[in-house]
Structure formats: structure tokens, C-alpha cells
Amino acid sequence: MGRGGRRPFPVRPREVAAAPSADNHGVALRPDEYHAVPGVGDGRPAIADIHGSCDALLASGWRRDEIASQVTETGESLPIPAYLNSTSVDRVLIGGIHGREPAGAIALARYAGRLAELGRGEGILLLPLLNPWGYSRHLRYGPSGQSVSDSDHLLGRAEAPACSEAAAITSFVLDAVRVNPGAAVLDLHEDPVYEDPSYHLEGHGSYLYVSGDGALDHPVAQRVYRCLEASSFPLIKQGVTRFGERLVEGVIVDTEDGSIDELLARKRACCPVITTEIALQGEATPPLAERVATYLGVLDAFFGP
């Protein structure tokens, strides 16, 4: 699954998950990592292509801010940009926190043209690819072995940020931008269940985390729910995630996982905060193109008619 660490485990979930994530399934690294197509073979484009599509927003008056960067062994710096059309936003879009979950970042990049139109009517913050280092290497976490957007240090559960990216990304969303109360958040993940051979999730499809006061009944959450329900990846109604969370009608409500989503729900009163998951049985199972197409539909549902 999902996000940074997962509660309600007595053991820190991210420590449990760190071991399998160190194996990137033999994905070869390329020189000029920024412009190279990652060697995963699932059809994901170069980091530069993701950013290039988003850069088209600049012609519509959007701003690009560099939140942080991740440095490779060869000294190459991989930027982590944010795109925004206002310093006061009512929508937040997040992708690419976990490197084995590329569909969200790709869908967000492909949605940039539509965002240029939607941005005429409301303030939008786009964080398309928060972990480019993990994306190009097919690794869940960043170079430090920690979730790049872990927010526990701001939720009273850790003394210090988990890593430099977590410090920069959380500071950016809380301090550099005004995310308004009631802002709707969509964080596009996938659940590479194949990371844990001992785990079995009953059924194939998707599930959701929804947070915020009354968030499940919010029209935005309802639209996303119905969109996934009607998609190629219908909601898995019952089961338990790898992180011990029980699905109720395909949803986990108000989880405490130390993610940036929990941070935005608690510290900025965002509502609904929606985290989507598509269960993956392998790197290219189901095919990436189908997952991206589904997430493009989810983006339409998130913004509504």
C-alpha cells in the first residue's frame, strides 16, 4: 500500500517494509538518470518527461517551485518540483511518493492540459512526482530508506523529520502555500502487494483511504468512490491491507499513518483527503496503461462535472 508508515501497528511499518524495498528487482541504472527511461520495463517514461508535461502549465500562469532534490551516487541532482497557480489553494494533487507506484505521477502529467483549464476557476497545488529517485530505480523509498513525505515529526510522533525530503515537503505544504480549510486532496498510490509474498489480498482491484470530518459523504469522495467502483479496478470491499488495516466497503476511514495526507487532514482541515490504491500483482500486472487510464478517470471524478 500506501503511504508513509502505517499504524495501528505496534512496530513501525516503514521499518518492516524497508527490507523488501531495498531490492529493486534488478532494475539497471542509466547515466543521466533524469532523462533516461527507467529500466523497469513497465512503460514508465523518464522523469524529464513527467516534469516536461507539467512545465506546460507555466504558459498558463502557473509557477514551478523546487521543493527539494535527491542526489544520486554520481552526483546528479533530481529535482522535486511543485506546480501551483495560486499561493492559496483549494485542491491538492499528489503523486509518486512511492517509487513502485508510477501510475499516479504519469496520470497527473498527462492531466496537465486539463489542469490549465481547471486552474482558471480555483487554486490548485500539483506535486506530481515526490520521489523521482525511487521512481527511476523502482524503489519504494528515497535514498535515506525513508518515506519522502513522512509527517510524523509534525504529528507529535517523532522528534525529527524522517529524511531531508520529508522536512522540505512537509514544510512546503504547511508554510510556503496556504492550503485552505476544506481543500480537497487526492494522493494517487498503488499497492505493490507482490513485495510481500506471504501476504494475500483477497480480490483484484482498488481501495481507498478517506479522511476529514464527514469526508466519506462529501460529493468529491462519493464521485471518486463511484468512479473506481465502475472502473477496470473495482473496489475490493473487504479484506485487510498489508499494514493491518481493515477495509469496510472498500474504504479505510481516518487512518493514522504519519502520511502527508494525515498531515493535511489534521493540520489544515482538508476534506476530503482521498488516497487511492490499485493492487499490483507484479511490476506490469495489471498493465501500467490501464492503471493510468483509470487514474485519469479518477482525476475527472475528483474535479467533478
Residues near Zn ion, by CB under 5 A: 2, 98, 101, 189
Q: Measured from the CB of residue 188, what is the shortest distance to Zn ion in angstroms?
A: 9
In the complex with Zn ion, the residue whose CB is nearer, 103 or 183, is 103
Whether omega before 286 lies within 30 degrees of 0, making that bond cis, reads yes
Residue pair 206/237 in contact (Cβ under 8 Å)? The answer is no
Cell digits of residue 59 = 504558459
Q: Measured from the CB of residue 277, what is the shortest distance to Zn ion in angstroms?
A: 7
Q: Measured from the CB of residue 275, what is the shortest distance to Zn ion in angstroms?
A: 8
The CA distance from 34 to 78, in Å, is: 6
Cell digits of residue 17 = 517494509
In the complex with Zn ion, the residue whose CB is nearer, 57 or 97, is 97
In the complex with Zn ion, the residue whose CB is nearer, 13 or 123, is 13
The CA distance from 197 to 44, in Å, is: 24
Residue pair 235/269 in contact (Cβ under 8 Å)? The answer is no
In the complex with Zn ion, the residue whose CB is nearer, 116 or 208, is 208
Q: Which DSSP symbol is given to 14? A: H
Strand partners, 211: 273
Q: Measured from the CB of residue 62, what is the shortest distance to Zn ion in angstroms?
A: 26
Q: Measured from the CB of residue 212, what is the shortest distance to Zn ion in angstroms?
A: 19
Residue pair 122/105 in contact (Cβ under 8 Å)? The answer is no
Contacts 24+ apart (CB under 8 A), 194-198: 194/280, 194/281, 194/282, 194/283, 195/17, 195/20, 195/21, 195/100, 195/140, 195/242, 196/20, 196/242
In the complex with Zn ion, the residue whose CB is nearer, 189 or 268, is 189
Instruction: Please count the residues of the chain.
Output: 305
Q: Measured from the CB of residue 111, what is the shortest distance to Zn ion in angstroms?
A: 19
Q: Measured from the CB of residue 101, what is the shortest distance to Zn ion in angstroms?
A: 5
Q: How many CA atoms are closer than 13 Å to the CA of 157, on its beta-carbon side?
A: 17
In the complex with Zn ion, the residue whose CB is nearer, 104 or 212, is 104
In the complex with Zn ion, the residue whose CB is nearer, 101 or 195, is 101
In the complex with Zn ion, the residue whose CB is nearer, 25 or 178, is 25
Spell out a b/e string for 264-286, using b for 16 or more CB atoms within 10 Å of the CB, else e: bbbebebbbbbbbbbbbeebeeb
Q: Measured from the CB of residue 1, what is the shortest distance to Zn ion in angstroms?
A: 6
Sign of the CA dihedral running 127, 304, 55, 95: positive
